[in-house]
């Protein structure tokens, strides 16, 4: 097959392109080329998706399948559909579970209410100010995909993606912290959490292009109670740890945030998003998404952490100093 990956220089797009090359497909990556290299064996075509004519460098090219991992812009998605929607036999759009309107309520499946669509070009700054903007742009983009290519579309509402290339430090925080041992601060919560290794999600996306899998799926692994997941990670690593469990209210009072950002405990979901980590993975698993073992996922995340530098400034998590300060205050 001849596959166009809109992206291909970082994380999921790069991993999809690499998997497709590994299987012998001809892969073209369309990107600015500033975020990194495309995988060996793929061809980079430099484009600027911010421009109305930004895909002109691909004029005359034909593809059997397209994979679009566009993150922040409806216009990027629309322009790609205008250029290639009529010709391809399969179109994958990677959306997000952030598209759902009510993450604080139990899920009934992909038919759950979505956020209102916003057909805009977002910025990361704007999305920090309006946490729902990312999901709303994804909803508008999904609508554009289904309107343009209909039954040829696979829409993957991805959840937390981890593994090699992860740029957000959330899942990876825990293996690197637990392997150090000692007293480890964790949230005393009862909610579930889910993740999917980028290599498994990429393999499924390429499978779908090869097999013609279409429809809308939550692209995520099975749900696990967060304390059980942290215990399983520690056990898998053989880590000598003592969990210091602290309730949500006290964590917030001590200036510790849920999910991500400075001075946070990753994978802890606030009450408003309590069920974001409890989506139904069953349909995607039945359609071929195959999560690797926890041990393999941990190994990939920990290797990536070590490559980046364990003691770097993180996008999510606590420094050892911040953690020790809170644990000492609790003991006092």
Whole-number pLDDT of residue 72: 80
Question: What average pLDDT does the segment 284-288 reach?
Answer: 98
Fold that domain 2-158 belongs to in CATH: Rossmann fold (3.40.50)
Find out whether 3 and 20 touch, Cβ atoms under 8 Å: yes
Q: What is the domain partition of the chain in residue ranges?
A: 2-158, 170-193+224-279+293-331
- Structure confidence by residue, pLDDT tens digits, 104-156: 999 999 999 999 999 987 666 676 778 899 999 999 999 999 999 999 999 99
Q: What percent of the chain has pLDDT over 70?
A: 98
Neighbouring CB atoms inside 10 A of 293's CB total 10
Residue 251 and residue 315: Cα distance in Å, rounded? Answer: 18
Assign 86 a pLDDT band (cuts: 50, 70, 90): very high
Percent of the chain's residues with pLDDT above 90: 91
pLDDT higher at 239 or 72: 239
Question: Mean pLDDT over residues 67-87, rounded?
Answer: 93
pLDDT digits (tens, 9 = 90+) for 204-219: 999 999 999 999 999 9
The structure tokens listed for 193 are 């959490």
Domain 170-193+224-279+293-331 in this protein, CATH class: alpha beta
Q: What is the spatial distance between Cα 56 and Cα 48, in angstroms, rounded to a whole number?
A: 9
Whether the per-residue pLDDT at 163 is higher than 80: the answer is: yes
The predicted pLDDT at position 131 comes to 81
Q: Hunting for tokens 């343009």 — which residue is that?
A: 148
pLDDT tens digits for 15-48?
999 999 999 999 999 999 988 999 999 999 999 9
Which distant-in-sequence residues (6+ apart) come within 8 Å of 262 by Cβ?
A: none
- Within this chain, domains 2-158 and 170-193+224-279+293-331 share the same CATH topology: no
pLDDT tens track for 248-282? 999 999 999 999 999 999 999 999 999 999 999 99
Instruction: Tell me the C-alpha distance between 190 and 261, whole Å.
Output: 22
- Please name the residue that has the structure tokens 């909803």: 139
Helix/strand/coil (H/E/C) assignment for every residue in the chain? CEEEEECCCCHHHHHHHHHHHHCCCEEEEEECCCCCCCCCCCEEEECCCCCCCCCHHHCCCCCCEEEECCCCEHHHHHHHHHHHCCCCCEEEEEEEHHHECCCCCCCCCCCCCECCCCCCECCHHHHHHCCCHHHHHHHHHHHHHHHHHHHHEEEEEECCEECCCCCCCHHHHHHHHHCCCEEEEEECCCCEECCEEHHHHHHHHHHHHHHCCCEEEEECCCCEEHHHHHHHHHHHHCCCEEEEEECHHHHHHCCCEEECEECEEECCCCHHHCCCCCCCCHHHHHCCCCCCCHHHHHHHHHHHHHHHCCCCCCCEECCHHHHHHHHHHHHC
Q: Are strands 215-219 and 153-158 parallel, antiparallel or unpaired?
A: parallel
Band of pLDDT at residue 324, cut at 50, 70 and 90: very high
Is pLDDT of 332 > 80?
A: no
Identify which of 4, 117, 122 has the alpha carbon closest to the alpha carbon of residue 69: 4
């Amino acid at each position: 097959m001849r596959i166009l990956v809109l992206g291909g220089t970082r994380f999921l797009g790069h991993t999809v392109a690499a998997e497709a090359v590994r299987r012998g497909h001809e892969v073209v990556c369309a990107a600015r080329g500033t975020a990194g290299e495309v995988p060996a064996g793929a061809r980079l075509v430099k484009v600027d998706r911010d421009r109305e004519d930004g895909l002109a460098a691909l004029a005359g090219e034909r593809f059997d399948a397209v994979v679009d991992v566009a993150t922040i812009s409806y216009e990027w998605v629309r322009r790609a559909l205008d250029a290639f929607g009529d010709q391809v036999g399969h179109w994958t759009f990677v959306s997000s579970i952030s598209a759902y309107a009510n993450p604080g309520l139990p899920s009934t499946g992909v038919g759950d209410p979505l956020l209102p669509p916003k057909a805009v070009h977002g910025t990361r700054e704007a999305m920090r100010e309006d946490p729902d903007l990312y999901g709303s742009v994804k909803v508008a983009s999904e609508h554009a995909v289904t309107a343009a290519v209909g039954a040829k579309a696979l829409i993957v509402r991805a959840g937390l993606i981890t593994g090699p290339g992860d740029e957000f430090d959330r899942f990876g925080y825990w293996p690197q912290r637990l392997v150090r041992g000692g007293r480890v601060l964790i949230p005393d919560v009862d909610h579930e959490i889910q993740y999917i290794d980028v290599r498994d999600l990429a393999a499924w996306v390429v499978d779908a292009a090869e097999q013609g899998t279409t429809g809308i799926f939550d692209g995520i692994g099975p749900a696990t109670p967060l304390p059980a997941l942290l215990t399983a990670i520690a056990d898998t690593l053989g880590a000598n740890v003592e969990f210091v469990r602290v309730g949500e209210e006290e964590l917030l009072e001590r200036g510790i945030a849920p999910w991500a950002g400075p001075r946070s405990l990753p994978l802890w979901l606030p009450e408003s998003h309590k069920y974001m980590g409890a989506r139904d993975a069953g349909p995607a698993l039945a359609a071929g998404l195959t999560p690797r073992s926890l041990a393999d996922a941990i190994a990939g995340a920990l290797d990536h952490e070590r490559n980046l530098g364990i003691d770097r400034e993180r996008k999510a998590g606590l420094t050892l100093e911040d953690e020790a300060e809170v644990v000492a205050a609790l003991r006092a």
